[in-house]
Amino acid sequence: MTDCGSFEKPELVCPAGTPAALRTAVDAGADAVYCGLANETNARNFAGLNFSAQALEQSIVYAHQRNAKVLMAVNSFATAPRTSLWHDAVDIAANAGADAVIVADIGVAAYVAANHPDLRLHLSVQAGASSPEAIRYYCKEFGVRRVVLPRILTVGEISAIHREIPCEIEAFVFGNIGMMSEGRCSLTNYAAGISTNMHGVCSPASAVRYVGNSDGSTSAELGPFDIDCYSAQQPTGYPTICKGRYTTPDRSEPYYAFEEPISLNLSSLLPDLMRAGVTALKIEGRQRSRSYVHMVVSAYRRAIDDISAGLQPDLTGLAALTEGGKETQGAFKTKKWR
Amino acid sequence: MSNTHFESLHDQRSFIAQTLPGLFGRVIAPLPLFPIQPVLLRIVREVTKNRPELFERLGPHVRSTFIIEVNELPFILRLCPDPERPELTAHRRSDSISHDAKISGPFAPLFDVMDGRADSDALFFSRDITISGNTEAAVCLRSALDDLDGSIVEDLMTMRGPLYAPLRFALSHLRRPHTGPII
């Protein structure tokens, strides 16, 4: 048995990069699935992924028939003179029957509030709202109903914020963990000329090359830069600048200057997060396969149900899915995590 | 092998899936490739006919060429998923084949990805699968395969005709015990 204290059973929010992944998530026990259109309005605008308007509509029907919600991410930052692209994405979500839109840009938030007042509005992690004052501002001005917190807060800080804001909290519990200034990272721009935040893609695959070397190692290149080199047996991660290894004048050996390839896994903190007032637990990974979705969603579904029933959750077996073969509790456990 | 003891059918199937590709590769190594070519052509035509949705996710790479290099096989496969003229051909490893992207690895993980039962990112992180050339083309192919209902392996197991009986038999034994979803 586990000591749970008092909490409401949280919503399990799961990723889908394709309609097949969405159906997999729903079937595996997701309470809600988040997804986005195949364009720059979506902060996971990766090649070969995402939804057309028609696929979104069909997927929402599938989810609703099984009592699952669909949250649509329109969570990149709208740029003049192309703001109509973001407005259109919101309209598509509303017309398709999405249960909420997840936005980062205040202009897009204002558009939702003015044109779709009945459409539930969630504040994306990309907005980087991490203080009660910032969150209350979004709630007051745009009617935000839920904030997805940046991954820079301890569980104790989340609990304190919960007591000071009028909206729900959604927190990441598993998956990719990147730069701490979420929604502000411009490293990809430097190497590839396009923006994570404005074009929705970090390390676009079109700019990534893996080059085999004569010694059996592989070099990872992003645009004109070598961002890592690893031996044949060495685990690796995504080809992002923040998880590359570099030499400096002070260091002759390459090292992880920003972050290591590692995945967030808060399985052991789930009871604490629930007690802290987190309404929704979010799994990252819209770029991942339906196999990943099935395994992670199933495991977290069981864990949430077990904890809610006062049982000890079993979340072993997810390590194989982690980036670099490593996992962390990040800042949720301590600010000294690196 | 005579000392091999299987605790369960699960163990036995895993053993077959791990050893059969290598055995098959060694057996056919000295043989010419031309008997394989019509089978491969039929396979890619069947997939093209039955899975038109595959090509939407390939986007700009629908006419790209892919080399699939299975470690245990004595040949490599060249795939061009052009819906109007699909090609899947076998070539000697020594042949110089032009391509846009190359995907390499042992049979089992590549097969599991094609079957929708493994996470290709995790296999990439662990270095079981490697890619080179046009990364975007490889990623689009991965996403296209992953968005299928069921899997191409399931499709191939339904191919009719005595010519494909060995293929069906092999696939049914190569398919590993459940490691993920078939949706």
- What is the rounded CA–CA span in Å between residue A314 and residue A303? 6
% of chain A beyond a pLDDT of 90: 72
Cα A63 to the chain's mean position, in Å?
20
Nearest-by-Cβ selection for B180 from A46, A206, A294: A294
Q: Give the start-to-end residue ranges of the domains of chain B.
A: 11-174
- Average pLDDT estimate for A80-90: 96
B136 touches chain A (CB under 8 A): yes
Cα–Cα separations (whole angstroms), residue B179 to A309, B18, B113, B171: 28, 14, 11, 16
Chain B contact set for A176 (CB, 8 A): none
Burial of B23 (0-12, 13-18, 19+ CB in 10 A): exposed
Nearest-by-Cβ selection for A290 from B144, B179, B181: B181
Alpha helices in chain B, H assignment, sequence order: 9-28, 36-50, 54-58, 107-114, 120-125, 135-146, 152-157, 165-174
Note whether B181 contacts A49, CB cutoff 8 Å. Answer: no
- What is the rounded CA–CA span in Å between residue A207 and residue B76? 26
Q: What is the pLDDT of residue B183?
A: 40
Centre a 10 Å sphere on the Cβ of residue A275 and count the other Cβ atoms it contains: 15
Strand partners, A218: A212, A230
Residue (of A181, A21, A183) closest to B142 by Cα position: A21
CA-based nearest distance A166→chain B, Å: 38
- Average pLDDT estimate for A122-134: 96
pLDDT range class, residue B123, cuts 50, 70, 90: very high
Assembly ipTM: 0.90
Look at residue A247 and tell me whether its pLDDT is greater than 50. Answer: yes
Q: What is the pLDDT of residue A209?
A: 95
**Residue to test with chain A: of B124, B146, B148, B176, most A Cβ within 10 A:** B146
What pLDDT digit, counting tens, does each position of A130-160 carry?
A: 999 999 999 999 999 999 999 999 999 999 9
- What is the rounded CA–CA span in Å between residue A105 and residue A113? 12
Q: Count how many Cα atoms sit within 13 Å of the Cα of residue B125 in the half-sphere of its side chain.
A: 23
Q: What is the phi/psi pair of residue B76, to 5°?
A: -115, 160
pTM over 0.80: yes
Q: What is the pLDDT of residue A51?
A: 97
- Please give the residue of chain A at the shortest CA–CA distance from B124: A236
- Please give the residue of chain B at the shortest CA–CA distance from A230: B127
Mean pLDDT of chain B, nearest integer: 84
Q: What is the pLDDT of residue B31?
A: 77
Which residues 39-58 in chain B show a CB within 8 A of chain A? 57-58
Cis peptide before A81 (omega within 30 of 0): yes
Higher pLDDT, B128 or A335: B128
Structural domains in chain A, CATH included, are: 11-177+262-333 (3.20.20.70), 187-256 (no CATH)
pLDDT range class, residue A1, cuts 50, 70, 90: very low
Least confident of A11-25, A32-46, A103-117, B156-170: B156-170
Chain A contact set for B136 (CB, 8 A): 47, 204-206, 208
Note whether A48 contacts B130, CB cutoff 8 Å. Answer: no
- Average pLDDT estimate for B66-93: 94
What 3-state DSSP class applies to A73? strand
Cα B85 to the chain's mean position, in Å?
19
Q: What is the pLDDT of residue B182?
A: 44
Element spanning A211, H or E = strand A208-212
B110 touches chain A (CB under 8 A): no
Mean pLDDT of chain A, nearest integer: 92
- Average pLDDT estimate for A299-326: 87
Q: What is the pLDDT of residue B1?
A: 40
CB B70 within 8 A of CB B105: yes
Note whether B146 contacts A290, CB cutoff 8 Å. Answer: yes
Q: Buried (b) or exposed (e) across A228-243, using 16+ Cβ within 10 A?
A: bbbeeeeebbbbbbbb
CATH superfamily of B11-174: SCP2 sterol-binding domain (3.30.1050.10)
Look at residue A81 and tell me whether its pLDDT is greater than 80. Answer: yes
What 3-state DSSP class applies to A159? helix
CB A8 within 8 A of CB A277: no
Element spanning A272, H or E = helix A270-275
- What is the rounded CA–CA span in Å between residue A215 and residue A213? 5
CA-based nearest distance A167→chain B, Å: 35
- What is the rounded CA–CA span in Å between residue A265 and residue A273? 13
What 3-state DSSP class applies to A70? strand
Q: What is the pLDDT of residue A5?
A: 57
Strands A168-176, A263-265: parallel, antiparallel or unpaired by DSSP?
A: antiparallel
What pLDDT digit, counting tens, does each position of A316-327 carry?
A: 778 888 888 888
Q: What is the pLDDT of residue B14?
A: 64
Strand partners, B79: B66, B88
Chain B contact set for A323 (CB, 8 A): 125
Chain A contact set for B124 (CB, 8 A): 236
Nearest-by-Cβ selection for A18 from B130, B132, B143: B143
Number of A:B CB contacts under 8 A?
Answer: 110
Note whether A205 contacts B136, CB cutoff 8 Å. Answer: yes
Note whether B59 contacts A47, CB cutoff 8 Å. Answer: yes
Look at residue A214 and tell me whether its pLDDT is greater than 80. Answer: yes
Element spanning A83, H or E = helix A83-96
B75 touches chain A (CB under 8 A): no
- Residue B155 makes CB contacts below 8 A (sequence gap 6+) with B46, B47, B50, B51
Q: Count how many Cα atoms sit within 13 Å of the Cα of residue A154 in the half-sphere of its side chain.
A: 8
What 3-state DSSP class applies to A291? helix
